[in-house]
Amino acid sequence: KAGVTQTPRYLIKTRGQQVTLSCSPISGHRSVSWYQQTPGQGLQFLFEYFSETQRNKGNFPGRFSGRQFSNSRSEMNVSTLELGDSALYLCASSLLSEPRLAGNEQFFGPGTRLTVL
Amino acid sequence: AQKVTQAQTEISVVEKEDVTLDCVYETRDTTYYLFWYKQPPSGELVFLIRRNSFDEQNEISGRYSWNFQKSTSSFNFTITASQVVDSAVYFCALSEEYGEGAQKLVFGQGTRLTINP
């Protein structure tokens, strides 16, 4: 079974631009979560989608947004990029038997490393 | 609020030594899940173990073992007879049972483990 895939793997942008990152979950997984990893703040939860609905959002500004498609693939978008947005963005998928029940193992992709110049 | 603390930022040992990674957590929930993930240099988070708050039985998997103690809110991870391939950053994480926090992992800052030959 293929794992979680993320594209692109590396991205270089300049301040003020916007960026879209893509995540394809493991087949059959309906929950997709996004995390930002930086040396200073560590791993922080961005948001989670289940059945095309955002169910949970972390403490990030509105410049960070996302969506999920009917095939469970997800995209996240960052508008008006700032230098501090440079990070590794990780996507994770999970097979949920109950939409609001946690404890399911999350499978992570390799991440997209975004550099903002 | 949930919080996970990994007090050891970096650990360096010689191969074949045993090493324990500490994890202390805070939560007001009575039901929650604890996880350990490994992040090798490639960046992808690799799931190691999941524990729910009602299962305090210690677990052993090969050279890995986990000690969960609710009384001290700790979930420590021990590698026995460490190997160079164990070198990575290890993260402890916490998830609420269900509801708005479902599928939201709160991570510790990570412990960078270096096994020297």
pLDDT tens digits, A18-28 = 999 999 999 98
Label residue A30 by pLDDT band (50, 70, 90).
confident
Residue B1: its chain A contacts at CB < 8 A? none
Alpha-carbon gap, residue B8 to B85, rounded angstroms:
20
Chain B nearest-CA distance from A114, in A, is: 13
Label residue A32 by pLDDT band (50, 70, 90).
very high
Count other C-beta atoms under 10 Å from residue A62's C-beta.
7
Mean pLDDT across A77-105: 83
**Chain A residue with the nearest C-alpha to that of B107:** A43
Max mean pLDDT among A103-117, B54-68, B78-92 falls in B78-92
Q: Quick one: pLDDT at residue B2?
A: 87
Alpha-carbon gap, residue B18 to B13, rounded angstroms:
8
Q: Quick one: pLDDT at residue A56?
A: 83
**Chain B residue with the nearest C-alpha to that of A104:** B103
For chain B, the three-class secondary structure string (H helix, E strand, C coil) is: CCEEECCCCEEEEECCCCEEECCEEECCCCCEEEEEEEECCCCCCEEEEEEECCCCCCEEECCEEEEEEHHHCEEEEEECCCCHHHCEEEEEEEEECEHHHCCCCEECCCEEEEEEC
Alpha-carbon gap, residue B63 to B116, rounded angstroms:
17
B2 and chain A: CB distance < 8 Å anywhere? no
Give the residue, B99 or A56, on which the prediction is more confident. A56
Contact A88 B43 (CB under 8 A): yes
**Chain A residue with the nearest C-alpha to that of B6:** A42
Label residue B43 by pLDDT band (50, 70, 90).
confident
- Residue B23 tokens read as 């994890």
Count other C-beta atoms under 10 Å from residue B86's C-beta.
19
B55 and chain A: CB distance < 8 Å anywhere? no
The model's pLDDT over B65-113, given as tens digits with 9 standing for 90+, comes to 999 999 999 999 999 999 999 999 999 999 876 555 457 889 999 999 9
